[in-house]
Amino acid sequence: MNFLLSKKKTLIYVKVTTMEADLDSIPIEADCYGRDLFDMVCRIIGLREIWYFGLQHTDKKGHACWLQLDKKILQQNVVRQSNGSYYFLFLVKFYPEVVEDELIQDLTRHLFFIQIKQNILSMDLYCQAEVAVLLASFAVKAIHGDYSDDIELELDKLLPNSVINQYDMTSDMWKDKIKSWWMNINHLTIEEAEMEYLRVAQDLSMYGIQYYPIYNQKDTDLLLGISAQGLGIYETANRMSPRPFFPWSEIKNIKFKNKLFTINVMDKSKIKFRAQEASISPSILDLCIGTHNLYLRRRQADTLEIQQMKIQAQEIRTKKQNELAKLQKEREQRVQAEIERDHLKNEVEAANERLTVLQDVLRSTEETSKLIAEKAKISEEEALELSKRANQAEAEVQRVKMSQIQAEEMKIALQRKVRDAELLAHRLIQESQFNLNGRTNGNSTDFYMPFWNYAAQNLSLQQLNLLNRPGNPPDVNPIPLGENAAEGDVQYIHEKLPTLPGLYSSQYLSDELADLRQQITQSNDEYFQRNKDFRDRLADFRKEIETLKLEDRQSENDRIHESNVQNGWDKQSTLRKVRIVAFDGTLNSGSGSSKSRVRVFDEL
């Protein structure tokens, strides 16, 4: 910046506003040329495609003029501000024919995007409603990135008021439409969204055209439209359809004197018109010459500088694409990891739920076990008590049996004694009888043996054994210790336990993950296979909002556009056919010669 300064030269200060920032109080020498200031601004912002841009100022009559680069700044009709500085706008001055083929740097594309967006919002560039919504979605993508429902859209920074006011739609309805389109372009990068914005915008009828008021030979108020394709003559009420149009290929040279312009055409015919203000004549000439030079340059081989810029831009884009591909891959991996994390989280939650059930069952089992243990303890105590009682009863039975045996033995002894006594008595009787008989007979000498000895000897041992056999103890049935109750409780526990798959079964996890991967792959295939035919969608959207249109709020541009749509005319078809207007005011679609179009212009 200091190379413009000299110790002995007078300094002036300028302020330059770009589409992104303000450059305040730039000191330059008072005798600097416009080129010096322009180059300085380009270096400050890092711009290399400088041939598309220029510095615009307002003259003393309030007309917007372009700063002439080959003239000194103070020799031009530049207004000095109240603080003593000079004010300029750094804007797009020349437009490419095809933005995607000609714009090289990302910065250049970004500056174009901001300016075209601002021109649409300020209604300097007419845009129909359906296209405005599409462009708004690209703008939201370029500004905010991927779709997010949390982002609050500012409608006045996305759609022109002319579009909002001419339809019976609420702000939420407009926002929903924009978000719907935004979701469909979520796959685009920010750079791609800006380029798509420019691709759509360049098809607008008024895109890239700078209008200047002129007079023809009949002093009719007309507009001269300067564009990358050529020069068009427009009626003041219709800036969309030229009447007629002259492509740059037919224009040989342009010159002016004061207000009068003369354009020489290849077939030697001349177009003459007058600028309504002499102060804008240099801007018209400068714009025509610069646009025509760019037109010729496009049809020549690229210079080494442009080739180098394209190579560098391609390398940068390739690097960005690789980084984006890597980022996308990492994003997909992160999404996949999040899905698997959520899946595992759900499994953990399910496992926790199952663990809770198991804990409840275990708690119930422990309570049941305690109850069973208490029952078993009580049963054991009862069994011990009953066993004790049984032993006591058995001892009592044994005692009674011993007493009975003793009584039997005493009885037997007594019976034996009774029998002995009876036998003795009987013997005595027999002896007495015998003695009595002996005395009577006197000859009986038989010896008599007492028979009771045999009777005593023949006493049955079996009967004695029967008497001496110990009595069988009474059967004591053991009291059950609660086995049936315990088995019933255990059976209840088994019935309560759910049938659970292996919590960490590899087959279980692999099947679930395979299903998730299949769903993700299918959704991605469907997403990338969807047809994004914007024209069809725009046509459908146009039909959709057609019923909400408020006819009394339609502008003249809306009516002209509607008429062109009904007739099948668009910007490119108009320029291709070089439409001319007949003297009766009807629009002819046939191609006319340069002379015939010059006559049409003169007769307007």
pLDDT at 218: 86
Q: Residue 45: is its pLDDT beyond 80?
A: yes
Q: Residue 421: is its pLDDT beyond 90?
A: no
pLDDT average, residue stretch 574-585: 48
Q: What are phi and psi of 580, to 5 degrees?
A: -125, 160
CA-CA distance, 18 to 586, in Å (whole number)? 43
214 and 260, same domain (yes or no):
yes
Model pLDDT for residues 119-141, shown as the tens digit of each residue: 999 999 999 888 999 999 999 99
296 and 314, same domain (yes or no):
no
Q: Assign 240 a pLDDT band (cuts: 50, 70, 90).
A: confident
Q: Assign 507 a pLDDT band (cuts: 50, 70, 90).
A: low
Q: Residue 524: is its pLDDT beyond 50?
A: no
The two structure tokens encoding residue 322: 């690789």
Please report whether residue 519 resides in a domain. yes
Q: Residue 542: is its pLDDT beyond 90?
A: no
Q: Residue 456: is its pLDDT beyond 60?
A: no
Among candidates 101, 92, 3, which has minimal Cα distance to 47? 92
* Residue that has been written with the tokens 């709020």 in this structure: 553
Q: Assign 568 a pLDDT band (cuts: 50, 70, 90).
A: low
Higher pLDDT, 377 or 434: 377
Q: Are 196 and 189 in contact (CB under 8 A)?
A: no
Please report whether residue 432 resides in a domain. no
Which of 93, 113, 142 marks a domain boundary? 93
Nearest 5 degrees, angle CA 177-CA 183-CA 189? Answer: 125
Q: How far is CA 6 from CA 1, 27, 419, 446, in A?
A: 11, 11, 174, 194
Please report whether residue 166 resides in a domain. no
43 and 85, same domain (yes or no):
yes
Q: Assign 440 a pLDDT band (cuts: 50, 70, 90).
A: low
Higher pLDDT, 7 or 249: 249
293 and 217, same domain (yes or no):
yes
pLDDT at 511: 55
> What is the CATH classification number for the domain harbouring 589?
2.30.29.30
Q: How far is CA 525 from CA 188, 514, 519, in A?
A: 16, 16, 10
7 and 89, same domain (yes or no):
yes
512 and 586, same domain (yes or no):
no
Among candidates 227, 219, 225, which has minimal Cα distance to 272? 219
pLDDT at 42: 94
Which of 51, 72, 93 marks a domain boundary? 93
Strands 221-226 vs 86-92: parallel, antiparallel or unpaired:
unpaired
Tell me the three state secondary structure of residue 26: strand
Torsion of CA 77, 82, 86, 92, to 10 degrees: -90
Model pLDDT for residues 184-226, shown as the tens digit of each residue: 888 888 998 999 999 999 999 899 999 999 998 888 899 999 9
Please report whether residue 288 resides in a domain. yes
Return the percentage of the chain with pLDDT > 70, whole number. 75
Please report whether residue 63 resides in a domain. yes
Q: Domains in the chain: how many in total? A: 3
Name beta bridge partners: 27: 13
For 233, the domain range is 210-300+569-603
pLDDT average, residue stretch 451-479: 42
Q: Assign 525 a pLDDT band (cuts: 50, 70, 90).
A: low
> What is the CATH classification number for the domain harbouring 33?
3.10.20.90
Model pLDDT for residues 250-300, shown as the tens digit of each residue: 898 888 888 899 988 888 888 889 998 888 899 999 999 999 999 999 999
Name beta bridge partners: 211: 225
Q: Residue 181: is its pLDDT beyond 70?
A: yes
49 and 7, same domain (yes or no):
yes
Higher pLDDT, 350 or 397: 350
Please report whether residue 255 resides in a domain. yes
CA-CA distance, 591 to 578, in Å (whole number)? 6
Q: Residue 502: is its pLDDT beyond 70?
A: no
280 and 321, same domain (yes or no):
no
328 and 350, same domain (yes or no):
yes
Q: Are 163 and 277 in contact (CB under 8 A)?
A: no
Which of 36, 66, 93 marks a domain boundary? 93
Please report whether residue 573 resides in a domain. yes
Please report whether residue 55 resides in a domain. yes
Model pLDDT for residues 85-106, shown as the tens digit of each residue: 999 999 999 999 999 889 999 9
216 and 359, same domain (yes or no):
no
Between 171-184 and 129-144, two packed helices, what is the crossing angle to 10 degrees? 60
Model pLDDT for residues 26-43, shown as the tens digit of each residue: 899 988 999 999 999 999
CA-CA distance, 485 to 376, in Å (whole number)? 10
Model pLDDT for residues 337-395, shown as the tens digit of each residue: 989 888 888 989 898 898 889 888 888 888 888 888 888 888 888 888 888 888 888 88
